[in-house]
Amino acid sequence: MILGLSRTWSLVGYLIAAIIILPLLAIIAQAFVPDEDVFGHLFNTVLPTYISNTILLMLGVCICALLIATPAAWLVAKCHFPGRKAFQWALLLPLAMPAYVVAYVYTDLLDYAGPVQKTLRFWFDWQAPGDYYFPEIRSLAGASVVLALVLFPYIYLLARTAFMEQSSSLQHASRVMGCGPWQSFWRLSLPMARPALAVGASLVAMETAADFATVSYFAVPTLTTAVYDTWLGYGSLSAAAKLSAIMLLVIFSMIGFERFARRKQQLFQKQSGPNETSVSKLTGLNAVLATAYCSLLLLFSFLLPFVILLQYAWDYFDESWNAAFWEYSFNSLYIAAIVSVIAVCIGVLLIFIQRISPRVSDILPSRLASTGYALPGTVLAIGILVPFTMLDFAVNDLYEYFGQAGPGLVFTGSVFIIIFAFCIRFSAIAIGSVENSYKRISPSLDMAAITMGLKPKALLWRVHMPLLRKGIFAGLLLVFIECMKELPAALLLRPVGFENLATYVFQFVSDEQLEHGALAAIVIVLVGLVPLIYLNRSLEQEN
Amino acid sequence: MKIARSMAILGLVCFASVANAAEKLTVYSYRQAFLVEPILANFTKETGIDVDVVFSKKGIAERMMREGRLSPADIVLTSDFSRLMELVDKDLVIPVDSEALKTNIPAKYRSPQDNWYALTMRVRNIYSSKDRLGKLDINYEDLADPKYKGKICTRSGKHPYNISLVASMIAHHGEAEAKTWLEGWKANLARKPQGNDRAQVKAVKEGLCDIAIGNSYYLGKMLQDPKQVPWAEAVEINFPNQDNRGSHINVSGMALAKHSKHQDNAIKLMEYLSSTAAQKDYAEINMEYPVKADVKPSDLVASWGEFKADELPIFKLAEYHNAAVKLLDEVKFDL
């Protein structure tokens, strides 16, 4: 839409996008390799169940997460009630919890042998499982609720930011025109926050599709577990690639549908910081209800699992306290730090190009780059390993050609491969949150800047960056925490002798002995809290 | 500029981690790290050779295939026989001709071609509730008996331990009969397959089911964990098919990676793992049956009594592995 962006920018954008979709292409190429009819066998037996499980789970988690996150975001952004200040940041805490840890804790609490059902049996003198009905935690519904409890902060964070940035003058206008507070919410705030809710829901859906540990622990087979089993159980990479292709189809059609539904919406508003006068004060019962709602949400999504983790850690402290911790924590931390910076740079660059390029086609790089997130870690691992193994061999061949000893697996045998994988998987998060911020910068600003003779680089640095700060912080934070928690990719790609907190904890979870790994799980959570608190501080300072 | 600097640091980190792989042995292990680390630590103490363990639940064979001649793996440890065979089938391991190994490990527990060696043996037991059923004289075939409807708990059918059991049923009864049996077993389940072997015993204790399928050493492991002692005490351990072919056994084992760069040291480690000291550790720490003839199982394991093992050669099971996986899918065992 704006002239004056040289082709070099586009080229860089396309180059980044190409690197990011490389694994995807590797998977697709792999899907065309014949697979000795493994896929045919799966198709005739278990595949329909896998597909329906996957779709139902994604829908279930999205709906649950939207239902619990939107009211919380609205309350915190727009209302005064006791504890609001604390909830503002506390409701982000569940993000630091790995889903499989929460799943483990709730299973322990709620299954037949857990304290909840034990107590019930004791009270009502039930003897056997047939004497009463209790919902099965290890089920599709259980998995939906547990994943929603862990993932809802994505929607909460983006929605809260959107609600806060909604100009209060619009709000006032709606009230002057006779809308009550509810009407004003339904007809104005909610539609205006829809892009943010949609991005949040897409993230949640993709996270759900990619989740491996929770569903396998809950014995709810989905396409992700099917990919894993087919690749490693049947030893058929190409059948696994075919399954991945089906999965991507499901995910992309969902996201495509969402975007299609929003195609005519355009939304511009003047940046006005959240101004306290637009916040309505809740009193009496309303205030109590608001506080109660947020408290319960926080209790179930974070406090309860965390307290139980502490209890485990306390019980098994002596045997699990060792020096290895510091090493694992450091591994998790530095990888998360590197990846979050790279991902945000990619996000800003690609969205900037898409925004000011005169060529319509330049919207492509950011779209393509966002597909990385749709690849479950397991699948992504295969897709990365194929090309990089080739590269490794090429490097070694070159060395040997010159009569030198080869350096070994430089790419696939080092942390490079994990960092690369994480960048591919999580750039989409950064792209999403940067794009969301960009949407609220009116294009007339760009026009004005260009009229004043600003070059693209200056426009980016001097005009956009200051306005994007919130989106960038949110992106950094989300990517960082994702990296702390990401499991399948780390599990499959880690070099020899490398262990991080997630892989370490998962060993215990899969062995149903989380008690022994609780301390490490707590470290994951605590390390995740540091950036949360930092982010929140910076957001508050801006206000 | 910042990006350039972090990239540079990143590059250094990557190469540094590759560069220090000098005289270390690398073990790719399907066995949990905490099971093998104490034993490997003793080896390091004795020889001064450092050992790195990479633990994976699945996919080690795929990884080694991909790494090809550049693979850092020296030795592979597996917790199940089918995985050993997979390594052999995919041509990822090489024979080891060692007198010590052949002396320590009886012929039925190693490959006729010397390309794999078993280290420990375990039984797939049927546990029964002490209170509700008591000790049983039971066969695997009885798992499909309608009298146990809604009373049986098991982990996922897709777990190697269960796949091996199904494979042995195919080996003894043929595919059609095995399928009928599997359908009958599925119909008897108290809940869909979930959790691990210990969780099934826990479920028996809680009254969720009366029968659990699990490996022998788990009973010993549970008695070592104060929290799990009550679970273990709620069940009897039964050795199935004692009046006929004997109980289904599986082995954990080791093999030398084809592209090992430290073969001499790797063979030293293999010999160590078959030695009396390491076999004792396996028996005492992991509660497994050692393969070395003169090493006795731990007192606890011995107290479960003598048993008759299925004489079907273990490598026969591997032939039915894929058929077993397909059967499990066909009857939708896990769904």
Best of B31, B66, B78, B210 to disrupt the A interface (most A CBs within 10 Å) is B66
For residue B263, the model assigns a pLDDT of 93
Give me the amino acid identity at B284. E
Which is it for strands B24-29 and B75-78: parallel, antiparallel or unpaired? parallel
Shortest CA distance from A490: residue in chain B: B56
The reply to whether residue A492 touches residue B193, judged by beta carbons under 8 angstroms, is no
What's the mean pLDDT in B259-272? 94
Shortest CA distance from A41: residue in chain B: B326
What's the mean pLDDT in A474-478? 84
For residue A3, the model assigns a pLDDT of 53
B201-239: pLDDT as tens digits: 998 998 889 999 999 999 998 998 888 899 999 999 999
Q: What is the mean pLDDT of chain A?
A: 83
Q: Which residues of B touch A338 (CB under 8 A)?
A: 6, 10
Query: In sequence order, what DSSP letters do the residues of B101-155 get, joined into one string?
Result: HHHHS-GGGB-TTSS-EEEEEEEEEEEEETTTT-S----GGGGG-GGGTT-EE--
Q: Which two tokens stand for residue B324?
A: 């077993």
The reply to whether residue B207 touches residue A128, judged by beta carbons under 8 angstroms, is yes
Position A266 confidence tier, pLDDT thresholds 50, 70, 90: low
For residue B268, the model assigns a pLDDT of 94
Residue B9 lies in a domain: no
Distance from CA of A232 to the nearest CA of B (A): 5
CATH number of the domain encompassing residue B220: 3.40.190.10
Q: What is the mean pLDDT of chain B?
A: 88
Q: Are residues B116 and B255 in the same domain?
A: yes
Q: Which of A219, A414, A512 sits opposite B156 (nearest CB)?
A: A219
**Cβ under 8 Å to A: B residues 64-93:** 66-68, 70-72, 86, 90
Best of A496, A498, A514 to disrupt the B interface (most B CBs within 10 Å) is A496
**Cβ under 8 Å to A: B residues 105-134:** none
For residue B5, the model assigns a pLDDT of 52
The reply to whether residue B14 touches residue A45, judged by beta carbons under 8 angstroms, is no
Question: Under 8 Å CB-to-CB from B76, ≥6 apart: which residues?
Answer: B27, B28, B29, B30, B60, B64, B87, B92, B93, B254, B255, B257
Q: Are residues B54 and B74 in the same domain?
A: yes
8 Å CB contact between A103 and A146: yes
Q: Are residues B204 and B291 in the same domain?
A: no
Residue B219 lies in a domain: yes
Q: Which of B17, B52, B71 sits opposite A414 (nearest CB)?
A: B17
Position B279 confidence tier, pLDDT thresholds 50, 70, 90: very high
Q: Which of B10, B198, B335 sits opposite A419 (nearest CB)?
A: B10
Shortest CA distance from A235: residue in chain B: B62
pTM of the model: 0.80
Residue B144 lies in a domain: yes
Position B145 confidence tier, pLDDT thresholds 50, 70, 90: very high
A25-63: pLDDT as tens digits: 888 888 888 877 788 888 888 888 888 999 999 999 999
- Rounded to the nearest angstrom, the gap between the alpha carbon of residue A63 and the centroid of all alpha carbons in its chain is 16
What's the mean pLDDT in A133-162? 89
B59-115: pLDDT as tens digits: 788 888 888 899 999 999 998 888 898 899 899 999 999 999 999 999 888 888 899
Residues A104, B53: Cα–Cα separation, whole Å: 26
Q: Which residues of B touch A406 (CB under 8 A)?
A: 70
Shortest CA distance from A114: residue in chain B: B206
Residues A116, A123: Cα–Cα separation, whole Å: 11
Distance from CA of A473 to the nearest CA of B (A): 17
B50 lies within 8 A of chain A by CB: no
pLDDT at B6 over 70: no
Of B255, B154, B262, B270, the closest CA to residue B204 belongs to: B154
Of A105, A32, A30, A49, the closest CA to residue A514 belongs to: A105
- CB-count burial class (<10 Å; 0-12, 13-18, 19+) for A271: exposed
Q: Which of B3, B14, B67 sits opposite A414 (nearest CB)?
A: B14
Residues A99, A148: Cα–Cα separation, whole Å: 9
Percent of chain B whose predicted confidence (pLDDT) is above 70: 93
Q: Are residues B152 and B226 in the same domain?
A: yes
For residue A265, the model assigns a pLDDT of 60
For chain B, the domain total comes to: 2
Strand positions, DSSP E, A273-335: 280-281
The reply to whether residue A231 touches residue B325, judged by beta carbons under 8 angstroms, is no
The reply to whether residue A412 touches residue B56, judged by beta carbons under 8 angstroms, is no
Q: Which residues of B touch A386 (CB under 8 A)?
A: 66
| Phi, psi torsion values for B125, nearest 5 degrees | -90, 165
Q: Which residues of A touch B58 (CB under 8 A)?
A: 228, 232-233
Strand partners, B170: none
pLDDT at A524 over 70: yes
Give me the amino acid identity at A75. L
Q: Which residues of B touch A511 (CB under 8 A)?
A: 32, 196
Three-state DSSP state, B254: strand
The annotation status of B217 as a binding-site residue, yes or no, is yes
Residues A348, A471: Cα–Cα separation, whole Å: 10
8 Å CB contact between A395 and A509: no
Q: Are residues B202 and B219 in the same domain?
A: yes
Q: Which of A237, A419, A507 sits opposite B33 (nearest CB)?
A: A507
Residue B35 lies in a domain: yes
B234-263: pLDDT as tens digits: 999 999 999 999 999 999 999 999 999 999
Residue B157 lies in a domain: yes
Best of A47, A137, A513, A515 to disrupt the B interface (most B CBs within 10 Å) is A513
Q: Are residues B199 and B325 in the same domain?
A: yes
8 Å CB contact between A232 and B66: no
Q: Are residues B267 and B133 in the same domain?
A: no
pLDDT at A271 over 70: no
Q: Which of B3, B57, B70 sits opposite A510 (nearest CB)?
A: B57
Q: Are residues B321 and B189 in the same domain?
A: yes
Distance from CA of A132 to the nearest CA of B (A): 12
In what helix (H) or strand (E) does residue A481 lie, and over which residues does it extend?
helix A465-485
Residue B4 lies in a domain: no
Cβ contacts from A onto B, under 8 A: 135
B44 lies within 8 A of chain A by CB: no
Q: Are residues B213 and B283 in the same domain?
A: no
Question: Under 8 Å CB-to-CB from A19, ≥6 apart: which residues?
Answer: A424
For residue A264, the model assigns a pLDDT of 61
What's the mean pLDDT in B126-140? 91
Best of B10, B91, B321 to disrupt the A interface (most A CBs within 10 Å) is B10
Position A416 confidence tier, pLDDT thresholds 50, 70, 90: very high
Q: Which of B10, B57, B329 sits opposite A45 (nearest CB)?
A: B329
For residue A421, the model assigns a pLDDT of 94
Percent of chain A whose predicted confidence (pLDDT) is above 90: 17
Residues A311, A321: Cα–Cα separation, whole Å: 14
Position A389 confidence tier, pLDDT thresholds 50, 70, 90: confident
Q: Which two tokens stand for residue B67?
A: 């790494």
Q: Are residues B205 and B326 in the same domain?
A: yes
Residue A278 is given by DSSP the state: G
Around A477, how many Cα atoms within 13 Å sit in the side-chain half-sphere? 28
8 Å CB contact between B217 and B287: yes
CB atoms under 10 Å from CB of A270, counted, come to 10
Residue B89 lies in a domain: yes
A289-330: pLDDT as tens digits: 989 999 999 999 999 999 999 998 888 777 666 777 778 888
Q: Are residues B83 and B216 in the same domain?
A: no
The reply to whether residue A408 touches residue B18, judged by beta carbons under 8 angstroms, is yes
What's the mean pLDDT in A247-261? 77
Best of B71, B158, B166, B206 to disrupt the A interface (most A CBs within 10 Å) is B206
Shortest CA distance from B8: residue in chain A: A338
Q: How many residues does chain B have?
A: 335
Residues spanned by the domain of B47? 25-121+250-303
CB atoms under 10 Å from CB of A542, counted, come to 11
Q: Which residues of B touch A12 (CB under 8 A)?
A: none
Question: Under 8 Å CB-to-CB from A64, ≥6 apart: which residues?
Answer: A144, A145, A148, A152
For residue A319, the model assigns a pLDDT of 67
8 Å CB contact between B187 and B233: no
Residue B3 lies in a domain: no
Residues A412, A417: Cα–Cα separation, whole Å: 6
The reply to whether residue A138 touches residue B322, judged by beta carbons under 8 angstroms, is no
The annotation status of B148 as a binding-site residue, yes or no, is no
User: Using CA atoms in the order A292, A298, A301, A302, what is the torsion angle rounded to 10 degrees?
Assistant: -150
- Rounded to the nearest angstrom, the gap between the alpha carbon of residue B208 and the centroid of all alpha carbons in its chain is 26
Q: Which residues of B touch A510 (CB under 8 A)?
A: 57, 196
The reply to whether residue A498 touches residue B26, judged by beta carbons under 8 angstroms, is no
Q: Are residues B96 and B202 in the same domain?
A: no
Distance from CA of B230 to the nearest CA of A (A): 12
For residue A320, the model assigns a pLDDT of 66
**Is the CA virtual torsion A268, A272, A273, A278 positive or negative?**
negative
Best of A414, A472, A507 to disrupt the B interface (most B CBs within 10 Å) is A414
For residue B246, the model assigns a pLDDT of 92
